[in-house]
A and B are shown apart, each in its own frame.
Chain A
Amino acid sequence: MALIMNCECGEVARGESEDELIAVVERHLAEQHPDLVGKLSRDDILAMAEMV
């Protein structure tokens, strides 16, 4: 079962585990939202995640 997180910008981050999803989201933040880097905690990201 995978996890996804719909970024507010429309991007959908997907990971096969919590750690993978966190890594994908953090990479997306670094590339597309550098001003948000460090402002979303691991708990924040997982709270926004959904199982698919």
Chain B
Amino acid sequence: MLLVYLAANRDRPLSRDELVEALWPGELPPKPESALSVLLSKLRGSLGPGSIEGRSHLRLSMPEAWVDLEAAVLAIHRAESAVALGDWAGAAGPARVALHTANRGILAGFEAPWIDELRRRLEDIRLRALACVGVASLRIGGTELPAAERAGRTLVRLAPFREAGYGLLMEALAAQGNTAEALQAYDALRRSLRDELGVAPGAELQALHRRLLGPPPKVGERSGGQAPGAETRRRGGSRWP
């Protein structure tokens, strides 16, 4: 826990009081200052001389060390920037790096408020990375459409009210020729939103749904003249995420 706390906050010096509070968020040990010194001594011994700077205020001094949270933040920033520019090839790698890193989790089995906060940040990155993997895979197309579908399904499972996940899933399914299941996904969201919140899906998702259903019959055209889903292979201009 001490190493993770130092690593997660290596951009600033940390007081001993802060470290004690982080390490023992519930009941303090009998001599918390001594207990902290013992842990710091062991950690210094493991990491090597100069790895932890300072006495009253301490800071991890390992600039070359890999820190998952930092790597995930950098990667998701690169991925989202590439997605915003429509650079799907440029988004593919960083989005996967962010997803892999966020998926690793943090300090399994340990509990503390600051660990919960780190987990929330990683979970947010995970969802954003899934959205980037999904949209990049969707736009790259071909052999990556199943990856877009998996990302959409995972997003829907993890964030059932995040419409971007449904949009991704619907587009990925339709792009693979599975329009019926795409419509089914929309219907599941529509029912869920109606039952839980009393609202309808957003305008962009409704537009995607209409595109998948095909164009409305023209005035004077006989009802049923258009085969259901006849236009469903067409790519729309929607943006997911």
Is A8 a contact of B140 with CB atoms below 8 Å?
no
Instruction: Name the interface residues of A1-52: CB closer than 8 Å to any CB of B.
Output: 6, 8-9, 32-36, 38-41, 44, 47-48, 50
Q: 5 closest Cβ contacts across the A-B interface?
A: A44-B93, A35-B142, A48-B100, A39-B92, A47-B97
Measured CA separation A8–B141 after assembly (Å): 15
Interface of A is mostly: mixed
Binding site for B on A (CB under 8 A): 6, 8-9, 32-36, 38-41, 44, 47-48, 50
The A-B contact count (CB < 8 A) is: 46
| A interface footprint on B123-151 (CB within 8 Å = 1, 0 otherwise) | 00000000001000000111110110010
B241 contacts chain A at the CB level, 8 A cutoff: no
Measured CA separation A34–B145 after assembly (Å): 12
Contact count band on B = 20 to 34
- Give the distance to chain B from A21, nearest Cβ to Cβ, in Å: 14
Q: Point out the residues of chain B lying under 8 angstroms from A35, CB to CB.
A: 140-144
Q: Which of B100, B141, B143 contacts A47 (CB 8 A)?
A: B100
Name 25 interchain pairs, CB-CB below 8 A, sorted by A: A6-B100, A8-B96, A8-B133, A9-B146, A9-B147, A32-B143, A33-B143, A35-B140, A35-B142, A35-B143, A36-B140, A36-B143, A36-B144, A38-B89, A39-B89, A39-B90, A39-B140, A40-B96, A44-B93, A44-B97, A47-B71, A47-B75, A47-B97, A48-B96, A50-B104
What 8 new A-B contacts, CB under 8 Å, besides A36-B92, A39-B140, A44-B93? A8-B96, A33-B144, A34-B142, A35-B144, A36-B140, A39-B92, A44-B96, A48-B100
